[in-house]
Amino acid sequence: MRTGSLGLLEAHLTTPDCGPVATLFPSVRLSPRPPSHRPPPPPPTTTMPLPAMTHSSAFLLPASTTPPPNDAATTYALVVLNQRLPRFAPLLWARARLRVCADGGANRVFDGMPELLPVEDPADVRARYKPDVIKGDMDSIRPEVKEYYSNLGTNIVDESHDQDTTDLHKCVSFVTRELPVPDKSNLCILVLGALGGRFDHEMGNINVLYRFSNTKIVLLSDDCSIFLLPKMHTHEIHIEKSVEGPHCGLIPIGGPSTSTTTTGLRWNLDNTSMSYGGLVSTSNIVDDDKITVTSDSDLIWTISLRN
């Protein structure tokens, strides 16, 4: 028998009963091939539902309005930046447990509150609307405003040594650290003056929403409100139609979304991709009293405010 045929030899060597190998090579003893044992398939994975986060603009309702149940446990803090005060600044001031002015925001309170309450004596208004804290690098506050509030007992914190964070970042960090709220999920920081003015300032303020994504922060102007919808939650947005809407938008600023689904909008998204250079949901309309949003990416929610 010729053994030069490699293919024939290989065929004999790989024959399971080992007979040909024993014939060709009597001294070779091969064990029979063991049976194949494949591991059992893994159990099916179960996707845990994302925890729900609720949002509401009930803080904009008139003071005489009974707050909805989901707002009763909320603790508000107010941060004022260096832009014109919106018309509802006195209302939010009254709702807040802590009021912080970011540097030049103190000028806006000093000048703007008497303008919003023109029938009252300006001196009385200024004394009543005294910030608890003025914080920042102190490059914008006027000297006479700083002295006025210092004499009233306002805590003035100079952080000019820190040029790596914005004034809003400093104020939010202070609020989350110092305000005694047992459950931080019940804390909501309302920010006035974050929109308008220089575009890079606006982007820096929106970036703070991402830096503190575990804290509810709402940026407000006379025209709209903005807040972050973190991707690790599903979101229920309760619409207060007497004070907001109908125009709204969902913006994938932090990165593209490959899947966003909504309910309650005029033009809902159904497992829709969004990105800059592609689709961005702007000029949508709220149809229902409750909007739901689920996404695989952090999104910015914005809604118009009624005058």
| Residue pointed to by tokens 């509030």 | 149
Asked if residue 217 and residue 75 are part of one domain, the reply reads yes
State yes or no: cis peptide before 90, omega within 30 of 0: no
pLDDT of residue 229: 97
Asked if residue 86 and residue 146 are part of one domain, the reply reads yes
Asked if residue 243 and residue 192 are part of one domain, the reply reads no
Q: Which helix (H) or strand (E) holds 131?
A: none
| Pair of tokens at residue 117 | 């309450």
Q: What is the pLDDT of residues 219-232, one digit of tens each?
A: 999 999 999 999 99
CATH of the domain at 275: 2.60.120.320
| Domain-located, residue 271 | yes
| Beta strand extents in the chain (DSSP E only) | 52-56, 75-80, 98-102, 133-136, 155-158, 187-192, 216-220, 224-229, 234-238, 244-251, 257-263, 272-274, 281-285, 290-295, 299-305
Asked if residue 199 and residue 237 are part of one domain, the reply reads no
**DSSP letter string over 80-122?**
E-SSPPPTTHHHHHHH-SEEEEETTHHHHHHHHHHHHSTTS-H
| Domain-located, residue 10 | no
Asked if residue 259 and residue 177 are part of one domain, the reply reads no
Q: Looking at 65-74, 184-193, 204-213, which range is the least confident one?
A: 65-74
Q: What is the pLDDT of residues 118-129, one digit of tens each?
A: 999 999 999 999
| Domain-located, residue 50 | no
Domain limit, last residue, from 207, 222, 237 = 222
In the structure, what pLDDT confidence band is assigned to residue 39 with cuts at 50, 70 and 90?
confident
Number of independent structural domains in the chain: 2
SS3 helix, strand, coil % of the chain, rounded to 5?
Answer: 25, 25, 45
Q: What is the pLDDT of residues 68-90, one digit of tens each?
A: 666 668 999 999 999 999 999 99
The boundaries of the domain holding residue 142 are 70-222
Does residue 56 carry a pLDDT above 80? yes
**Using the 8-state DSSP alphabet, how is residue 249 labeled?**
E
Does residue 286 carry a pLDDT above 90? yes
- Alpha-carbon span 230 to 214, nearest angstrom: 8
Q: What is the pLDDT of residues 129-178, one digit of tens each?
A: 999 999 988 889 999 999 999 999 999 998 878 778 889 999 999 999 98
pLDDT of residue 10: 43
Top-confidence residue, 99 or 67: 99
Contact predicate 220/203, CB 8 Å: no
Asked if residue 304 and residue 234 are part of one domain, the reply reads yes
pTM, whole model, 2 decimals? Answer: 0.82
Q: Looking at 2-11, 63-72, 154-163, 233-242, which range is the least confident one?
A: 2-11
Residue type at 229 in one-letter notation: L
